[in-house]
Amino acid sequence: MTVKDIAQRLSLTEAFSGENVDREVTGCYIGDLLSLVMSKAQQGDAWITVQGNINVPAVSTLTDCAMVIIAENMKLDEAALARAKMEEIPVYYSEKSAFEIACGIKECL
Amino acid sequence: MANSSVKLHYEVADNDFTVAGEASGAVKKVLRQLGFPSDVIRRVAVSMYECEINMVIHANGGHIDVEITPDKIRMVHTDKGPGIKDIGQAMQKGFSTANEEVRQLGFGAGMGLPNMQRYTDEMKITTEIGKGTVVDMTVYVNKF
């Protein structure tokens, strides 16, 4: 299922969608500790986190995640959102917990 | 690229998270354009980013020299920091001297150096107290 489809199915709020919304999502990883995310998240994953700082788009780019979902009503800060736009990383917000979001994604894959 | 090499140089600013990751992101793009396998690109990008973050957090910035040849990618990170007192301790998973602010940014879990070692084929640390540290890492393209 694509980024766009998952965003729609899970009623996610768009922070930035850009030109990669038709990319296929192939897995999911939950993590807030960035070194751990870098070693465990896989290419094509939907990465769920509560972090919202400038390092989030950087780590997403390095691991080649398909999308970032910020859980628990947290938001990206201004610098992070600008970097996400520059790097063309689809980022969405949700008021749900990481667990609830991951369960929704599992049903989509 | 046979018999040739690509050399890249990056400056890393002190205490500026907004630019941390730019060098590793740029190298990733170059490696992709040159057609390197995706696992090699990931190993280089992640180990470089961890090192960049360390330079920003602990070491007053510095510079990175990258040499790309068909069979290997070598990254030499030279910082202006205080040096590492005990490299053995610094290499232990979970050991960190990062402050609370850095931890809130998602780092400081003591996984940076272990991640770098895990993702590279060769890693050499040369450090001098009061002068700085050089982290020299190499990823081979066809090493299994």
Number of domains in chain B: 1
Cβ contact (<8 Å) for A55 and B24? no
pLDDT digits (tens, 9 = 90+) for A11-50: 999 999 999 999 999 999 999 999 999 989 999 999 999 9
Give the number of A-B residue pairs with CB atoms closer than 8 Å.
Answer: 69
Stated as kind and residue range, the H or E segment containing B6 is strand B6-12
Give me the domains of chain A, ranges plus CATH numbers: 3-108 (3.40.1390.20)
Q: For residue A8, how many other CB atoms are within 10 A of its CB?
A: 12
Rounded to the nearest 10°, the torsion over CA A61, A65, A67, A68 is: -70
Domain that holds residue B92: 6-140
Provide, as residue numbers in chain B, all residues whose Cβ is less than 8 Å from the Cβ of A37: 106
A13-16 vs B62-68, strand pairing mode: unpaired
Provide, as residue numbers in chain A, all residues whose Cβ is less than 8 Å from the Cβ of B105: 34, 51, 53, 55
pLDDT more than 90, % of chain B: 75
Asked if residue B42 belongs to a domain, the reply is yes
Whether B112 contacts chain A with CB within 8 A: yes
H runs (alpha helix) in chain A: 3-9, 34-40, 55-63, 78-86, 98-108
Dig out the tokens for A3 from the structure. 């980024």
Which pLDDT band holds residue B2 (cuts at 50, 70, 90)?
A: low
Kindly tell me the sign of the dihedral angle through the C-alpha atoms of B115, B120, B121, B126. negative
Asked if residue B1 belongs to a domain, the reply is no
Give dist(CA A27, CA A23) in Å, integer.
Answer: 12
- Give the distance from residue A5's alpha carbon to the nearest chain B alpha carbon, in angstroms: 26
Asked if residue B107 belongs to a domain, the reply is yes
Give dist(CA A30, CA A104) in Å, integer.
Answer: 13
Output the domain CATH number for residue B124: 3.30.565.10
- Please say if the pLDDT value at position B85 is more than 80: yes
Write phi, then psi, for A91 (nearest 5 degrees). Answer: -130, 135
Dig out the tokens for B117 from the structure. 């070692």
Which pLDDT belongs to residue B144?
A: 52
E-state strands within chain B: 6-12, 62-68, 72-79, 122-128, 132-140
Provide, as residue numbers in chain A, all residues whose Cβ is less than 8 Å from the Cβ of B44: none
- Please say if the pLDDT value at position B61 is more than 60: yes
Which pLDDT belongs to residue B108?
A: 87
Asked if residue B115 belongs to a domain, the reply is yes
**B140 strand-pairing partners:** B72
pLDDT digits (tens, 9 = 90+) for A45-104: 999 999 999 999 999 999 999 999 999 999 999 999 999 999 999 999 999 999 999 999
- The residue type at A2: T
